[in-house]
Structure 1
């Protein structure tokens, strides 16, 4: 992993903590949350305040995330909002922390000028002893305060001020006045400069978790489903009828289509589909040739084409399928039929425009893992696991690609791959479609079956409860 760390592709964009004052504040917060402290005087932290150096020192990479639930956090600066979240157990955690920081940025800026802010992402689950516990997670609430309880003190002072202003004899209450003066010395003037963090809660219905081998839960959909990266039998008692694993490609494809969660790359608006397909083909080419002793890093597009011609017999089915689709998209070639059984099927899709697009792109990256750029962007946990198994030639290629093509314009790359153009104007109602011929019902993604949402789902008739 040294290449990734040195190039900033792993542990990149962390916040450096080096001043004695910040280290002392961090230790106070760490002591209040975990009962532990660090002896380090120089370390880096992520958006939640987790430090890989302190994790190594304590021998506990989950020292702020015990049992992988109810993640705790330490904020020393609002600059943490742009940092990554390391050792993520839930796909929603970083988004919740970032939104909390952005919504309370002014208050947090004032609070962290004097102390650390410590808190927790609280839900009703305290352990992950069984998969059934995942369905008990409904809402995440953010709780936070400074280590000296400034928010609680400010609230107490505000209540005493209200009492002082409203009670007739409060002017003669020396005890009340003394208490107000003491609290004001710690909090400042809460009337002129209120110290308050917004109470924030977030629904958590559709998400990925690293628990139980990796699980995608889609609960807030017309046709909900659970998709497991490993054994689906552990969800035999799931309250959701449809439970798939990654080998159930036909059923996952049906689930994504019926819920309108994906769109074909070649039909997406505002993107260069040809360029995206060619790059996916390059990634598949590199994966196939990584063991041939070739230097693959930094090769031009024309050099990659020559390698593809030279080693055509070595290339897997998905390369040739994507090449046929590219030929159809750019040269008017034959319309290729690509069913969900084809290993290239999920390489041809991306998330459509909806609130769970990031989660769907994360799932697609796991179903199409040779697209190393999408894997890095959408599913870093899985990317790092795969990276550890690659040959040196493939590692060199991937690091060179991510440094020179992705890191130089992260936002532009994400927009080019996953962005959605808003329609220029409200579409006019479409006339009723003419009766379809048989050939019209077959496209590059295979035959489209007409499925009644009331009577059937992605796994067959609703009445058939048995999972296959």
Structure 2
């Protein structure tokens, strides 16, 4: 992983903590949250305040996320909102933390100027020994305060001020006045500079979780379902109508279509579909070439085309399907019939514009793992796991490619791949419209095929 770290592709944008004052504040927050302190005098933290160096010291990568459910956080600066979230257990956690920091920017800036802010993403579930427990996660709310309790104290002072204003003869209540003066020394003038943090809660309808080998839960769609990365039977009974795993390709494809979650890359307006498909094809060639022992260090697109010709007979169906689609997009070739059974199918899709587009692209990246660029952008945990298994030459090629093609223009690359425009006109040759199954069949096996129903 050193190659990724050196190129800023892993642990990038972390916040360095090396000031004795900030280290002391961090330790006070650690004591308030987990009853421990660190001996480190310099370390890096992510958006939640998690430090990989301290994780190594404690031999616990979840020291701020006990049981991987209720994530705790430590804020030393509002600049943490630009940092990544390491060891993510839920796809929604980073977005929640970013929104919390953004919505309380001024208050947090003032609070962290004097102390660390410690808090927690709170829900009613403390452990997920069974997969069914994940479905008890309905709403996440945020609790936060400084280690000195400034927010709590300010709230108490505010109530006293209201009491002082409304109570008859309050000017003669020496005890109340003395308490207000004492609290004001800790909080400052809360009437002019409020230090209250917004009470925020977030619905947890659709999300990915790392628990149980990876599970996508879609409850906030017209046809709800859970999609497991591993075998669905290992999950036990789930409180949702339909459960699928990655072997149920046809069912997943129909789920995505019925809920109108995806669109073909080749039909998306405003992008160079041919260029995107060719790049995906290059990644497949790189996989084949590395398997055959080719040295991919410094490989260019021309090198990959040469390797593609050399290993033409070994190129898998993923490459063949995307090549046929590229011929349609660029050379007026026939519209290829690529069904969900075809290995290239999920490589040809991207999320439509909707609130859960990132989650859907994350799912698609796991269903098309040879597309290393999409895997890196959409699902870094899966990317790092895959990277660790690759031969060294492929690691070198992938790291060089991402540094050269993605790091220099992250926003532009994302826009080119996932930016949403009105779809193009339907091609002349289309997939036949699916015939609606009879009602009793739908009731028996579900709208997307023979998958397990509760």
User: In the alignment, which residue of structure 2 is the partner of 1:376?
Assistant: 376
- How far, CA to CA, are the matches of 1:459 and 1:417 in structure 2? 38
Normalising by structure 1, we get a TM-score of 0.93
- How far, CA to CA, are the matches of 2:206 and 2:444 in structure 1? 19
User: In the alignment, which residue of structure 1 is the partner of 2:27?
Assistant: 27
Determine helix, strand or coil for the equivalent of 2:406. helix
User: In the alignment, which residue of structure 2 is the partner of 1:328?
Assistant: 328
User: In the alignment, which residue of structure 2 is the partner of 1:141?
Assistant: 141
Question: CA 1:270/1:463 → structure 2, altered by over 3 Å: closer, same or farther?
Answer: closer
Moved more, 165-174 or 216-225: 165-174
Determine helix, strand or coil for the equivalent of 2:89. coil
* Structure 2 residue runs without a partner (length 5+): none
User: In the alignment, which residue of structure 2 is the partner of 1:269?
Assistant: 269
Aligned positions of 1:345-384 closer than 5 A: 345-384=345-384
User: In the alignment, which residue of structure 1 is the partner of 2:226?
Assistant: 226
Normalising by structure 2, we get a TM-score of 0.95
Determine helix, strand or coil for the equivalent of 2:420. coil
Aligned positions of 1:203-218 closer than 5 A: 203-218=203-218
Q: Is the 8 A contact 1:223 1:457 kept in 2?
A: no
RMSD: 2.2
User: In the alignment, which residue of structure 2 is the partner of 1:252?
Assistant: 252
Q: Is the 8 A contact 1:252 1:458 kept in 2?
A: no
Is 1:96 the counterpart of 2:81 in the alignment? no
Q: Aligned pair count?
A: 452
Question: CA 1:454/1:419 → structure 2, altered by over 3 Å: closer, same or farther?
Answer: farther
Give the drift of 1:464: 9.6
User: In the alignment, which residue of structure 2 is the partner of 1:436?
Assistant: none
User: In the alignment, which residue of structure 1 is the partner of 2:433?
Assistant: 448
Aligned positions of 1:67-466 closer than 5 A: 67-421=67-421, 443=430, 446-451=431-436, 460-461=445-446
1:28-60 Cα shifts (integer Å, max 9, x gaps): 001000000001000000000000000100111
Determine helix, strand or coil for the equivalent of 1:110. helix
- How far, CA to CA, are the matches of 1:455 and 1:229 in structure 2? 29
Question: CA 1:456/1:82 → structure 2, altered by over 3 Å: closer, same or farther?
Answer: farther
- How far, CA to CA, are the matches of 1:396 and 1:464 in structure 2? 42
Give the drift of 1:176: 1.0
1:218-274 Cα shifts (integer Å, max 9, x gaps): 111111111001120134422222111101101100110111011000001111111
Q: Is the 8 A contact 2:212 2:235 kept in 1?
A: no
1:132-160 Cα shifts (integer Å, max 9, x gaps): 11110000001100000000110111111
Give the drift of 1:448: 3.4
- How far, CA to CA, are the matches of 1:383 and 1:466 in structure 2? 28
Give the drift of 1:466: 7.1
Determine helix, strand or coil for the equivalent of 1:421. coil
